Amino acid sequence: MSSISSSATPSPAVQPVAIPWRALQPWLLFGAVLAIALLYFVGTEQGVFHLIGGSGVHEFVHDGRHLLGFPCH
Amino acid sequence: MLSPRSLLIRGMLVGLAAGVLAFVFAYLVGEGPIDAAIAFEEAHSPPGEPGSVTRTVQSTVGLLTATLIYGVALGGIFSMVFAAAYGRLGRLGPRATAALVALAGFVTVAFVPWLKYPANPPATGSEDSIGRRTSLYFLLLVIALAALALAVYIGRARVGRLGLWNASILGAGAFVAVVVVAHVLLPTIEEIPEGFSPLVLWNFRLASLGTQVVVWTTLGLGLGALVERTLRREAVLTASA
């Protein structure tokens, strides 16, 4: 292992290698869906739409919602 | 060789760090204006029923929860956009690619909506217009994302003829043009109540924009550094194998 840390670090490949689209598609789709769902709950749940009753979610993330720039009451 | 899996993990980790830093910034810079706005609200409206969550919880655990979820979600999707961009932006390496994607992300999903529909502190928005304000905000967000897609498309289509630099300028120009038209055509919202301190409003909006700057800077620099380190290690292992 010491040979690795002491040897000069070579720069990564000069030409960056792209990830093929086929390999990316499912990750892009799932990542986008999951992120949108999470952002919805932080950003607008119990604002215009109510998936969960009451105002607990809204009140709890209240300050974050205002400061992250989402429209709020 | 980078894998989508390793990028998603790194993106969420960087997003976690972005969430923590955003909390620190928002707590230190943003909570003052929020408290001032709530004091204004209580002085100018009949006392309503007490909230189910105390101010202390809202400004600490609640704020941290919001910024952490926001950071991880944004970090995950950011890493996927990075995965698509890496290797497709000329010869840009991981750090430059991550910085550029983060800059584009900040301008598109934070700065452009903020310019037209900036964040409002408590007590400055009408309950009746929340539906309309939310619709307009997300409409502008979608327009900005479409403008970014158009800019990338134009840039890629013209890169062969104009070269990378000029094609990028052309794409950026198209983005600005679409955004300016949207800003002019979309209705302006003005519901700040009479007597509300302009300084509190300004400070709150700056704090909101600053929080976004913290988030996107952390994402861009953090993911770039992590991926660079991974690639260097792999290069060392390949060379020594």
SS (H, E, C) chain B: CCCHHHHHHHHHHHHHHHHHHHHHHHHHHHHHHHHHHHHHHHHHCCCCCCCCCCHHHHHHHHHHHHHHHHHHHHHHHHHHHHHHHCCCCCCCCHHHHHHHHHHHHHHHHHHHHHHHCCCCCCCCCCHHHHHHHHHHHHHHHHHHHHHHHHHHHHHHHHHHHHHHHHHHHHHHHHHHHHHHHHHHHCCCCCCCCCCCCHHHHHHHHHHHHHHHHHHHHHHHHHHHHHHHHHHHHHHHHHHHC
Which of A66, A70, A72, A73 is the best substitution to test chain B (most B C-beta atoms within 10 A)?
A: A66
Is A3 a residue whose pLDDT tops 70?
A: no
The tens digit of pLDDT for each residue in A30-70 reads 988 999 999 998 888 888 888 888 888 999 999 999 999 99
Q: Please report which confidence band the pLDDT of residue A7 belongs to, taking 50, 70 and 90 as the band edges.
A: very low
| pLDDT of B196 above 50 | yes
**What pLDDT digit, counting tens, does each position of B62-95 carry?**
999 999 999 999 999 999 999 999 999 888 999 9
* A42 found inside a domain: yes
Number of domains in chain A: 1
Whether residue A9 lies within 8 A of chain B, CB to CB, comes out as yes
CA distance B175 to A66: 27
The verdict on residue A15 lying in a domain is no
Is A28 domain-assigned?
yes
**Is A50 a member of any domain?**
yes
Whether residue B239 is predicted with pLDDT greater than 90 in this model: the reply is: no
User: Mutate which of A3, A29, A68 to test chain B, going by most B C-beta atoms within 10 A?
Assistant: A68
So what's the pLDDT on residue B167?
96
- Residue B123 and residue B194: Cα distance in Å, rounded? 11
pLDDT class for A73, splitting at 50, 70, 90? confident
Q: How many CB atoms lie within 10 A of CB A70?
A: 24
Give the chain A residue whose CA is nearest to the CA of B11.
Answer: A31
Q: Is A45 helix (H, G, I), strand (E, B) or coil?
A: strand
- pLDDT tens digit string along B24-66? 999 999 999 999 999 998 888 776 666 788 999 999 999 999 9
Shortest CB distance from A16 goes to which of B84, B86, B134?
B86
- How far, in Å, CA of A58 to CA of A72, rounded? 9
Would residue A32 count as lying in a domain?
yes
The interface residues of chain A toward chain B in range 25-64, judged by CB-CB distance below 8 A, are 27-28, 31-32, 34-35, 38-39, 41-44, 47-48, 54-56, 59-64
Q: Range of A26's domain?
A: 21-73
- ipTM (interface pTM): 0.89
- Kindly give, in sequence order, each residue whose CB lies less than 8 Å from that of residue B78, ignoring residues fewer than 6 positions away: B11, B14, B15, B101, B102, B105, B219, B223
Residue A13 domain-assigned (yes or no): no
AA identity, residue A63: D
Query: Which is more confident, A53 or B18?
Result: B18
pTM above 0.90, yes or no: yes
